[in-house]
Amino acid sequence: MSKRKPKTSSQPVTAKVKKVILNYHDSDPENEPLFVNNFQVIHVGTDVFIDAGIVPVDDILAAKDKGEVRFLLLTRLAMSVNAFAALHKQMTEIFEKLQGAKVLDDALQNKT
């Protein structure tokens, strides 16, 4: 049995994102949080929409060859600008705590 190292690259890959809406109704956030690795945020007038979902690993690995990745939309949040501002404040506070604890050092250095 041979051990192969996964292919890695430090070069950014540009790919078209194809959004696929999933019918995901089995939700138990207390016991099983929804995992997401990608977000799209837009605003229309005084409303802000956050689409949260997954870009599958296989799509990421094949993006260079295919030129496209799927964004599997699991949920869409809609909120007022005031609610979005409150979310921003909470996220900024957590981000700053993580930076102070040096938790984000590696993640920020590997940002693409």
Total number of residues shown for the chain: 112
Answer whether residue 6 is part of any domain.
no
- At residue 54, the pLDDT reads 94
- At residue 1, the pLDDT reads 46
The count of structural domains within the chain is 1
Answer whether residue 25 is part of any domain.
yes
Is residue 66 within 8 A of residue 15, CB to CB? The reply is yes
SS3 (DSSP) at 4: coil
pTM of this prediction?
0.71
Regions of the chain with pLDDT less than 50? 1-2, 112
- At residue 47, the pLDDT reads 97
- At residue 84, the pLDDT reads 97
Answer whether residue 4 is part of any domain.
no
Answer whether residue 2 is part of any domain.
no
Answer whether residue 28 is part of any domain.
yes
Q: What value, to the nearest 5°, has the Cα angle with vertex 70 and ends 16 and 105?
A: 85
- In tens, the pLDDT along 45-75 reads 999 999 999 999 999 999 989 999 999 999 9
